[in-house]
Amino acid sequence: MEVSVIGNSQTRIFRGAELAYKELGFRFGSVVISGESRNKVTFLSQSSRLKDFSIRCSPRSVKCEAIVSDGVPFLNSTPKSRSLDSVKLFVGLPLDTVSGCNNVNHLKAITAGLKALKLLGVEGIELPIFWGVVEKEASGKYDWSGYLAVAEIVKKVGLKLHASLSFHGSKQTDIGLPDWVAEIGEAVPGVYFTDRYGQQYKDCLSFAVDDVPVLDGKTPMEVYRGFCESFKTVFSDYMGNTITGITLGLGPDGELRYPSHQHDAKRSGAGEFQCYDKHMLSALKSYAESSGNPLWGLGGPHDAPAYDQQPHSSAFFSDGGSWETQYGEFFLSWYSSLLTSHADRVLSVASSAFSGIGVPLCGKLPLLHQWNKLRSQPSELTAGFYSPNGQDRYEAITEIFAKNSCRMIIPGMDLSDEHQSPLSSPESLLAHLKTSCKKQGVVVSGQNSSAPAPGGFERIVENLKDENAGIDLFTYQRMGALFFSPEHFHDFTVFVRNLSQFELSSDDQAAEVETNTVNIGSGTGAPSLQAA
């Protein structure tokens, strides 16, 4: 891969990118980088020929044009597709950018990586901010130091920042809920989601305790409000200039859903209902009694399959099964209503806390496409999305987003039906969600899925071209060892080229500027950034 960088200032930025590769463990060429060899860094694919592209940059602007000469096709515009030059491209930072001890991890690599992204024309970065890091020790005791340091780096590089306030834990980073919350969880039963086997999901509080004073006399909503107000105060100098968006965590992994798979990483089944904690069962009991069917309030469906079982292995999700009965409508309506109410509470708290700052608020939905060609659409039901009588099961959610003037982040824009099981269609579900949002006037922002998808970049571009959706912000997840690997970084550069067409100014074209050539190379070594 040969990269021509025009302009000494841009050369310094790109050399910063070299440092990012070093920190990731890549070997630059076959010799020590010094003198002239510093500008010769081999970027070889182990399974394919050398790929050539050049980046032409204006000394006065970091916007660039990538010209690829290895036969990778660009996606041509069609009369029905919208221009993509207005799409703002963000890249997510690693989940462990700030450690549980409030230290900035991989500082040199992240700084250098941000400079490289700025050079490519990326608009900004997304920063996950964990409740368990900031308010770790005690209620109301905040330490924003690590995240403030990252915000200052982003500002100095000249990128924008999208802050994701995460009220959940992450096993990938070994960051849990705040220590004082975890202590309450051990001492006070019923604050965590629980399945029918008694297994607790300890990376997120149960929606049933939203307005219950289980956190040292405060409700979770009161604690979340304090967190948001502290963030607003501490980052006031960044609001509207560096910080241009805020996402509110709505559930497991930040998404609005029940943790229907809990510890089942393979997700081979449809998931299970998470309604067996003390407060969920109490709410179910009250709902059943008010509906005149007290026996229905003793627990969740008895005939639903287990985590690793196929949806049709038991009666609940089968055609004509329990989900279509009067009992099924009763239970699923109650289960989904708690999800909708939770979304309304969190987004209302955030809308109030951030009122007047002029920064858009966002919430994220999952793309639950597994098994969605079945009539019951079981993965959506166990995650909490349901509407009786064949109505749009996402309508109530989009209405909540519209009411609170929040954008909706939808992941999975890199997925295609071609590479899914016969009973899964991410394309149709994504189209449905975009239509529901358009109907309610909810602005959609896009993300890719966490795992690489075949043909993912091309699929993202096609989704962004959809003039009916009008998506103007896309966040690519996420920086890490895979992101900076030779094959992937090349493909990402092609993707950026597909989004924007940048031209040199006439002054730059006329200027006689020394050209430095950098060959960026693979090699071996242990990665130091954690990929999500």
Distance CA 281, CA 318 (A): 25
Q: Does residue 117 belong to any structural domain of this protein?
A: yes
pLDDT digit string (tens) for 129-159? 999 999 999 999 999 999 999 999 999 999 9
> Per-residue pLDDT averaged across 57-61, rounded?
34
Q: CATH number, domain at 436? A: 3.20.20.80
* Tokens, residue 107: 């500082």
What DSSP designation does 312 have?
Answer: G
> Per-residue pLDDT averaged across 3-16, rounded?
43
HEC string of 65-132?
EEEECCCCCCCCCCCCECCCCCCEEEEECCCCCECCCCCECCHHHHHHHHHHHHHHCCCEEEEEEEHH
Q: Which helix (H) or strand (E) holds 164?
A: strand 160-166
pLDDT digit string (tens) for 386-438? 998 878 999 999 999 999 999 999 999 999 999 999 999 999 999 999 999 99
Q: Which residues contact 268 (CB under 8 A, 6 or more apart)?
A: 307, 308
- Greater pLDDT, 231 or 172: 231
Distance CA 468, CA 71 (A): 31
69 burial (CB, 10 Å; 0-12 / 13-18 / 19+) is exposed
pLDDT digit string (tens) for 475-486? 999 998 889 888
Dihedral, CA atoms, 347, 349, 353, 357, nearest 10 degrees? 20
Instruction: Give residue 497's pLDDT.
Output: 85
- Greater pLDDT, 18 or 375: 375
Within 13 Å of residue 412, how many CA atoms lie on the same side as its CB? 23
Specify the amino acid at residue 376.
Answer: S
> Per-residue pLDDT averaged across 316-341, rounded?
97
Q: Does residue 149 belong to any structural domain of this protein?
A: yes
With a cut of 60, say whether residue 16 has pLDDT above it: no
Q: Does residue 504 belong to any structural domain of this protein?
A: no
Q: Does residue 126 belong to any structural domain of this protein?
A: yes
Model confidence pTM above 0.95? no
With a cut of 70, say whether residue 26 has pLDDT above it: no
| β-pair type (2-6, 515-519) | antiparallel
Q: Which residues contact 88 (CB under 8 A, 6 or more apart)?
A: 123, 124, 160, 472, 473, 474
Instruction: Give residue 22's pLDDT.
Output: 56
| β-pair type (192-194, 200-205) | antiparallel
Q: Does residue 66 belong to any structural domain of this protein?
A: no
Distances (CA, A) of 414 to 148, 426, 439: 32, 9, 23
Q: Does residue 105 belong to any structural domain of this protein?
A: yes
Q: Which of 497, 410, 414, 493 is nearest to 456 (CA)?
A: 414
Average pLDDT across the chain, whole number: 82
Domain extent, residue 188, equals: 84-492
Least confident range from 39-43, 83-87, 359-363, 506-510: namely 39-43
Q: Are the C-beta atoms of residues 238 and 161 closer than 8 Å to each other?
A: yes
* Tokens, residue 438: 């358009």
Domains identified in the chain, total number: 1
Q: Does residue 359 belong to any structural domain of this protein?
A: yes
With a cut of 90, say whether residue 236 has pLDDT above it: yes
Q: Does residue 515 belong to any structural domain of this protein?
A: no
Q: Which residues of 124-140 are buried (b: 16+ CB within 10 A; e: fewer)?
A: bbbbbbbbbbbbbeebe
Q: Write down the residue that tokens 């510890």 correspond to.
A: 263
Distance CA 169, CA 133 (A): 10
pLDDT digit string (tens) for 248-273? 999 999 999 999 999 765 677 899 99
How much of the chain, in percent, has pLDDT values that exceed 70?
A: 77
